[in-house]
Chains A and B, each alone.
Chain A
Amino acid sequence: MNRKIAYTIALLVALAAPFVGYPVFLMKLLCFGLFACAFNLLIGYTGLLSFGHAAFFGGAGYVAGYALTTLGLPFEAGIVLGVLAASAIGLVMGLLAIRRQGIYFSMITLALAQMVYFGALRAPFTHGEDGLQGIPRGKLLGMLDLGNDLTMYFVVLAIFIAGFALIVRIIHSPFGQVLKAVKENEPRAISLGYDVDKVKLLAFVLSSALAGLAGATKAVVLGFETLTDVHWTMSGLVILMTLVGGMGTLAGPVLGAFLIVALENKLGDVGNFLAETTHVEWFSSLGESVGIVTGLIFVICVLLFRRGIVGEILAAFDAARRRGKPA
């Protein structure tokens, strides 16, 4: 019941938001929200820490951008191709990385994603340091002009909801339960007869496809795609979003993504404000020092708030409920 109310409120807010806020910024929030949710499917529900999700996000962005710009394909085809490309990269990366456990898994994904980065840097169609510019949005189903920010917003919202619903469905399916079993106790899942490697691979490919969906959509929304999206810092950023919001919670990654993207966008303003009020000149350069702030949040979260914002709230509710009903 509570959940239904929460979802309804969230939907109403999302529908009203573009009339109040700046639609392009909101679309960016939604894309990163979906990206973080896709990442969370792995870390939060399967227990795999991928350090290579930028490869899917940026890779799909490049493919979608190339399809729309150079090949002149319609919007839908661009997004689909982006998702397919991300899934293909995910399949290869997954097959390799799953051969090792734990911390090695993270290192392998990081190294393979770096290969994708060098690919994007050197391949002729990605235009190296310049990236892809002027990606056209085109028309939805050949009719609706997506050049209009408001129309585009509702399309992006629909994509986000579809992706989010798919993740919810996966988590609550029998397959989702198996994922949880793998996360909690891998040897036991094996002894129960599950082909754990196959389960992990499927989760990895699903996560990469959804990350690709987010990346392709983001590239089309903003109309450009650059190396930033395939760089390892992007893989780190999505980890941070999920960590801040709460790993293994549904709403957490979305909230975390919103906070981090907003922070990155507004950091310059915050810095200028601090410089004016405290008269410490250094603060005015805060806008360029995103790394310091994100690094600091990382350290604080790992040391003090490992459950993340939503995780802490849920834990507080839990504790309150337990106090209310003495055993």
Chain B
Amino acid sequence: MEIFGVPLQAMMSQLLLGLVNGSFYAMLSLGLAVIFGLLNVINFSHGALYMMGAFAAFIGVTSFGLNYWMMLVLAPLLVGVFGILVEKTMLRWLYKLDHLYGLLLTFGITLLLEGVFRSFFGVSGQTLDVPEALSGATDLGFMILPNYRAWVVAASLTVCLVTWFVIEKTRLGAYLRAGTENPKLVEAFGVNVPLMVTLTYGFGVALAGFAGVLAAPVINVTPLMGSNLIIVVFAVVVIGGMGSILGSIVTGLGLGVIEGLTRVYYPEASEVVVFVVMVIVLLLRPAGLFGKEK
């Protein structure tokens, strides 16, 4: 069976690859949106922290004899703690200033982290083995589904939806949303807003670390893997706007799929298709698909 001259099998595997990439876009842009909502900081270092998560998993497995599943919990925790330290010692001094300083600081942190990992691991890639339970593939009849990729999509979707549920439907999320609207008033009700800000940043970057661990077995783990991704994620954020949690998830996945389809029909454009979509969205709907301009 063929779809517009492309065999179904090839089509499906590219779509799945698109969904895998899309899950990373979704998780990262979700983290960026949550952080931006409360801190008004665009976290450039999000990509570097994703890289850190992947390296943490790699180091944990190869040097400390831990397994993938332990690192899936430990690495995001490590990245989250690192984020909390960054927030406590540096970011916090910039909240009263123009947004651009937060971007510049996190950009500097990105260069710093990349530089440190480069001096230890060089620029060549490392690979992490797929955990045993998820190796192999399942024959679905119309396609061969690599188990690990299915797991990546399922795990990230679950994490994204749980995040959405917590923010939109629980009491904690209500505090968070209120803090986004008017932090002073929330503080007057006795909520410890600075603590909430710190934990939000920690959670946001932990999401990036989690994405990094998920990515480690499917892509080359290199010090530069994060910054190549973060620029695409920025375009995703521009397309979706940061006003809506569900919006960032949908936009991230959707763009991953579009990228996958482009790789089937016009591979030369697959690197830039997200940027092209961004240009189109800017022309037609400048505020972004789900945007409320702040």
Contact = CB atoms under 8 A, between A and B. Distances in A.
B interface secondary structure, majority: helix
Interface in A262-280: none
Interface stretch (A129-137, A248-256, A291-299): A291-299
A291 B118 contact: yes
A290 B87 CA distance: 25
B132 to A, nearest CB: 36
Contact of A295 (B94, B115, B276): B115
Interface residues of A, number: 41
A16 to B, nearest CB: 35
Interface in B101-133: 101, 103-105, 107-116, 118-119
**Most A CB atoms within 10 A — which of B100, B268, B276, B286?**
B100
Contact of A289 (B118, B278, B279): B118
A interface secondary structure, majority: helix
A239 interface: yes
B293 to A, nearest CB: 7
Given A99-B282, A99-B286, A291 B99 contact: no
A115 B272 CA distance: 6
Contact of B275 (A99, A111, A298): A111
Interface string A92-129: 00001001111110111011101100100010000000
Contacts, number: 120
Contacts of B109: 295, 299
B94 A302 contact: yes
Contacts of B276: 115
A111 B238 contact: yes
B237 interface: yes
Contacts of A111: 231-232, 234-235, 238, 274-275, 278
A312 interface: no
Interface of A: 49, 96, 99-104, 106-108, 110-112, 114-115, 118, 122, 232-233, 236, 239, 243, 282, 285, 288-299, 301-303, 306
16 contacts: A99-B282, A99-B286, A107-B234, A111-B238, A239-B104, A282-B119, A289-B118, A291-B111, A291-B114, A292-B116, A292-B119, A295-B110, A295-B115, A298-B105, A299-B112, A303-B94
